Amino acid sequence: MSPLSRRDFLTAGVAAGAGLVIGFYLPHGAPRSASDTFAPNAYLKITPDGKITVVVARSEMGQGVRTSLPMILAEELGADWKQITIEQAGASTLYGDQTTGGSASVRTTWDPMRKAGAAAREMLISAAALEWGVARSACKAENSSVIHTASNRRLSYGELANQAATLRVPTDPPLKQAKDYKIVGTAVPRIDTPSKVDGSAVYGIDFRLPNMKYAVLARCPVIGGKVAGFDDKESKKISGVSYVGKIGDSAVAVVADSVWGAMEGRRVLNVQWDEGSNKDLSSAGIMDGLKKSASDKAAVLYAAGDVSKTSGRRLAADYQLPFMAHAPMEPGNCTAHFQGSSCEIWAPTQVPQDVRDSVASAVGLDSEQVKVNVTLIGGGFGRRLEHDYGVEAALVSKAANTPVKVIWTREDDMRFSTYRPASYHRLSAALDGQGWPVAFSHRIVMPSINIQKGFPAEDGTDSEVKEEASFVYAIPNTLIEYVMTETPVPLGWMRSVNALQVGFASESFIDELAVAGGKDPLELRLRLLAKDEDLNGWSTARMRGVLQLAAEKAGWGKALVPGHYHGIACFASFHTYMAEVVEISMENDQPRVHRVVGAMDCGQVINPNILEQQIQGGVIYALTNALRGQITIDKGRVVQGNFDDYQPIRMNEAPVVEAYFVQSTEAPTGAGEPPVPPLAPALCNAIYAATKKRVRALPVVS
């Protein structure tokens, strides 16, 4: 069986999740027996004391799923939000695919969570009707109680739990209409905020076990290099060091009673490395290879008309982007306890099931013998879609015969990570006599994350690149192509993945076309989105809506403070539409970003406060990437190692970020990644407005 790509797996998880929930509702069609806990499905438990527990099967890394997902279920349940508590699911077979990525958590669990809550509500209403001997239609559910409308009698969900547990689970419970929502769409406080404020929240790096040891690993500094040999005499002289050993082909672990002891043991460890075939690899060489590959045969991602037969004024430009690191605040870590016939893992992971399966394979167990507990994640951005940290911890625990936490230092996390691919973009267009685009072509040249990881190609391309290379403009002759290349640099999915790169090139070039044709950048975009239609699965009307909203809120076309300039861009990704306006001034030939106005259409909004935070966080993350973020390779080694040479945006540099969204009752889509792609082009378009110089290579400040 061929492996699925990440995106295919997420898509399959929607159906699988719903099917598992329904299957869990009706085990062989039999009613449930009475018990102390009413648990009609895998997502919900109600005890006789009235405690309502919602199980969250996605990972919390700051995006708010431990609040937004319970809100969906609580809405249909008719629960009192103050009574809701949450339970984090570990790796399980009950919830379909548990991957947290692709901005898919709400989108893929919207229906399962609604049905879970609605089914329980209907069972509780039936239990109350039986208790009172009245018709179900005479009862309603609200605020964690069922009320008999004629007599105003009331029974709490806790009082009904035992009776409800004996009833048959409905297969197709009625769902609320948006106009009746009382929880969904409101700014309820995040459930996990108090624990983060008082310090009781447990992130992966916080977790402790009795008698636990700590480990750091020495890894080959050259990409793809291996261990040739090592001398541990000096390491074993360090107080507390209890084990030094080779882990796999490319690392040596040092285990000690403390993190400091393990780090000191590694510092004096003498390792001989086989640097392999990548010892002369460089960023410059990789980019030169991408440029040369731009003339190779390409796979067509989207086509309309015929760009080769279009006449008009021709324009062309090339854009490029570097490798990038995720750089989450919490560096890599994982705790493991291997016990011969079983292994337990505590991991800040976005993919608990992948960690389970990879660990099982690595230590020689069946998946059922590995238990994965999911902790809070101090920033993921896609890095925790990998599972190397889990495998390392399990292997070290097995080798050292002790529970162990593997810790990555900041330098480890920066230099031995997976990286967003570098890319090269060749664009061209034709303008008619009035300055409007009549042809547009974009050739994307970059390595494929999925292909490097062993997922199959589809028609010579990567399905994720195709999906994320959206183009929503009605230009009569359009050609979007992809030249798939290879690199030995390990690749990984980073927040907004391929959309960031495609969006920077295409939206910057659209701005170039506006200037060349004598058009206002907003005017040009609105002209190309004027007709309501579906283009390659994207709605021009919804894109036009966010573009107009962002422009209106930013005051596009109105006088700015002297020395301030606007740039605008929009992009569709992860089923969501996003537009941004960036306001800058130039200080010492560098941009100072004062204000970013973002507008999003992500369908039904679950929690407007969390959505605002997602937009703000996405903008700041994207601004760091655009201004300074880059990973460079020299002599096969990653150059950057810490936040001194991979600098995030500081508080004094952060702009005001205004977040707006389109009111909608469409099914919810993604919110975490869509704010990223429009930021870089909007910023660079503002720089052009200020300086009349185009920025065609990121980062802006190199």
Helix crossing, 679-691 with 608-627: angle to 10°? 60
Q: What is the pLDDT of residue 264?
A: 98
Query: How much is the pLDDT for 12?
Result: 40
Q: Say whether 421 sits in a helix, a strand or coil.
A: coil
Q: What angle do CA 121, 127, 131 make, to 5 degrees?
A: 145
Please tell me the number of Cα atoms within 13 Å of 482 on its side-chain side: 27
How would you label 664-694 residue by residue, b for 16+ Cβ within 10 Å and e otherwise? beeebbbbbbbbbbbbbbbbbbbbbbbeeeb
Q: How far apart are CA 443 and CA 465, in angstroms?
A: 12
One DSSP character per residue, 281-293 reads --HHHHHHHHHHH
Place of tokens 């889990």: 390
| Distances from the Cα of 78 to the Cα of 72, 146, 161, 462, 634, angstroms | 10, 9, 14, 43, 59
Q: Give 450-474 as a DSSP string.
A: HHHTTPPPBTTB-HHHHHHS-----
pLDDT at residue number 35: 55
Across the beta sheet with 576-587, what order do the strands follow? 565-573, 576-587, 590-601, 656-661
Given a contact cutoff of 8 angstroms between Cβ atoms, the answer to whether 403 and 212 are in contact is yes
Three-state SS for 692? Answer: coil
**Which two structure tokens, joined as six digits, stand for 313?**
């004024």
The first and second tokens of residue 338, run together, are 């291997």
Please identify every stretch of the chain with a pLDDT value under 70, giving residue numbers as ranges. 1-35
| Residues in CB range of 416: below 8 A, 6 or more apart | 219, 408, 638
Count of all residues that appear for the chain in the document = 702
Q: What are phi and psi of 424, to 5 degrees?
A: -130, 140
Contact yes or no for 350/384 (Cβ under 8 A): yes
CA 469 to the chain's CA centroid: 17
Rounded to 5 degrees, φ, ψ at 335 are -110, 135
Whole-structure pTM value: 0.94
Give the list of residues 6+ apart from residue 687 with CB closer than 8 angstroms, or none.
565, 567, 584, 586, 591, 693, 695, 700
Q: What is the pLDDT of residue 459?
A: 81
- pLDDT, tens digit, for every residue of 85-109? 999 999 999 999 999 999 999 999 9
Residues with Cβ < 8 Å from 539, sequence gap 6 or more?
Answer: 472, 532, 533, 577
Contact between residue 114 and residue 73 where contact means Cβ atoms under 8 Å apart: yes
Rounded to the nearest 10 degrees, how much is the dihedral formed by the CA atoms of 619, 620, 622, 628? 150
Cβ neighbors of 126 (< 8 A, separation 6 or more) are 136, 164, 167
Q: Side by side, which strands form the sheet with 38-41?
A: 38-41, 44-46, 52-56, 84-88
DSSP 244-280: EEEETTTEEEEEESSHHHHHHHHHT-EEEEE-GGGTT
**CA 206-209-212 angle, 5° bins:** 100
